[in-house]
Amino acid sequence: MKSFVTVCCLSFLLGLVAVVESDEDYTEDEEMILSLILQDDTQPEAESRPSAQFYRCTKDAWRMPGQYIVVMRNGTHVNQVERTARRLRAKAAKRNVCSAVKLPHVEYIEEDSSIFAQSIPWNLQRILQNKHETGKYSPPNDGAKVGVYLLDTSVQVTHREIEDRVMVTDFNSVPEEDGVRVHRQASQCDSHGTHIAGVVSGRDSGVARGASVNSVRVLNCQGKGTVSGALAGLEYIQSSLMSQAIRPVILLLPFVGGFSRTLNAACRKMVESGAVLVAAAGNYNDDACLYSPASEPEVITVGAVNFADQPLSTGTTGTNAGRCVDVFAPGDDIISASSDCSTCFTTKSGTSQAAAHVAGIAAVLLNLNPNSSSAELLQQLLHHSVKQTINPESLPLNHRLSTPNMVVALPDPTSTLTGEDLLCRSVWSERSAAKGLATATARCRHGEEMLSCSSFSQNGARAGERVEERDGQKECVAVNGNGGQGVFAVARCCTGHKAQCQMLESPQRGADAECPPDHQLTGCSSSSSSGDASDSERPLHGIRRACPAKRDVTSYASCCHTSSLECRLKEHDSMGLSEQVEVSCEDSWTLTGCQGLSHGSVVRGAFALGNTCVVHTSGGDIGAAAIATCCRHRLSHKPSDH
């Protein structure tokens, strides 16, 4: 067996193996090392004997320049090897590592390099749909067509994970660090931004490894910024996009502040201009609606989960939750680039890391469908997400129903989803006041169509819901009933409907709200002006498509016109003493409307959960029925359960 000795002149983390011919161009350090190692007073002159081969890794990023393995020829005595090793260690201890080293019988020299365990980090494994390919991270694409603007701390662009992938812009708007003795080490100033950039597009730790990242510094070395600085950063990006358009483009906002109307408005303006904004929900174990930009409806707000798909919780802190969160993503012990050195890695946790995952997946989706709007992209994210994996009891009680139970995942390799598929999601309002006839309002995003409106009350005292229009946008308005404890409005918001839709009100109380003959009925609502309970009637889906109403109740019908749309009802009655009854649309159909039909028990409300219509009742032998309105495009019969 051949003997070998390790020669260390420098230490650098990198790695694999390949042959490099001995006449290759070497660095100055390599020339010195080779000339010294190959000195041999006991052998003929160098030109009269064969040159030793020099090997190094084909993966430049894995190389360890300055650290070498010297392999001795067969027959070299063990005492010679040990003596040589002692001499090398003595030279290294004096930092005179390679001077005057004479090694006879050298067979070849190999530059050291890194090796890696062949399993991928849990977070990347988690977002894959093709679980059978264990040990390999293989997204549908690398997001190379997408540009990402990262509003964060500065970034260590020389880190091997993100080198040549991140461009540092000339923007810098940060406050002074707190305290008079702040030591501004580069590793501290770059810590958060480097880690986040690595999660987005790092060579080994990134989600979308082809996406380009533009660093816009709005946080100082302590990770602190100002609303005014963030606003200036958004203005800078807007100007940059006007002068040199990048499409599609994602803005990643891995920070939160207190609720700011101004910051939310600026984010909304960016979305209206065509950008996709992804923001952290916040790490305060609180309602995300109390923070900005997380509370802005046009922003995709991301909460964090751990490896078990449960809400991230660390001591007294944890992920924010509630109706302002759109989706969850891995955010616990996430491995990515460390700014401590250009090859260092570290783990960090939080909703910033979760938001970076969503930005990466969004880049993959936009690479597939570059013309998708922000609203369409969100629907695609939800469509591909893993549903009902979070334990509801791990969520705050007052946010349990309104928090989406979805964890992001990359598209399945067989998915053929496009921006034209009918996709829907539920949008909850905040709870209304407890006084009679108090209202709560839910709205869809820009680019979504409201196809139905329902309501929910914990004690069942609700006066139904109605649909209004304000500034050209439909609103789902829920009405609290007499003796109610507050009511929620739940809007069913959809993209890809390819239809002209309108909400029609019954001509008078107790009369039907009827769709025109060439329209499909996508959902029904009803409200009582007296504050008494407003129970639904079964929709009509025959030749007449209408929403009937009981006496003194106004009904509302959502009616959509397109030649390719078809809708039908699906109904399920509760059995026994169940307080919840459900009915789901089949895989090729999308749930657009959800109603509860009382058989005598109190219906607390109805809402869509994924592709399932859920009705809560007071229980009892009489029970209730859940009625789902399921729609699809005739030429697009693909799974739409999300």
Supply the residues annotated as catalytic: 152, 192, 352
Question: Alpha-carbon dihedral of residues 597, 599, 602, 607, nearest 10 degrees?
Answer: -20
| 293 preceded by a cis bond (ω within 30 of 0) | yes
Is residue 303 a contact partner of residue 371, using CB atoms and an 8 Å limit?
Answer: no
What are 155's two structure tokens? 């970034």
CA distances in angstroms from 512 to 52, 539, 544, 579, listed in the order given: 93, 10, 10, 29
Q: 89: part of which helix (H) or strand (E)?
A: helix 78-93
Q: 202: part of which helix (H) or strand (E)?
A: none
- The alpha helices in 416-574, defined as continuous H runs, are none
Helix and strand numbers (H, E) in the chain are 8, 38
DSSP class per residue in 515-541: --TT-EEEEEEEEETTSS-----PPEE
> Phi and psi (nearest 5°) for 67?
-125, 125
Among 428, 283, 247, 261, which residue's Cα sits nearest to residue 355?
Answer: 283
**Using CA atoms, how far apart are residues 354 and 358, in angstroms rounded to an integer?**
7
What are 328's two structure tokens? 């969850």
Question: Alpha-carbon dihedral of residues 319, 323, 325, 330, nearest 10 degrees?
Answer: 60
Is residue 302 a contact partner of residue 358, using CB atoms and an 8 Å limit?
Answer: yes
DSSP class per residue in 367-389: HH-TT--HHHHHHHHHHHSEES-
**Using CA atoms, how far apart are residues 196 and 206, in angstroms rounded to an integer?**
9
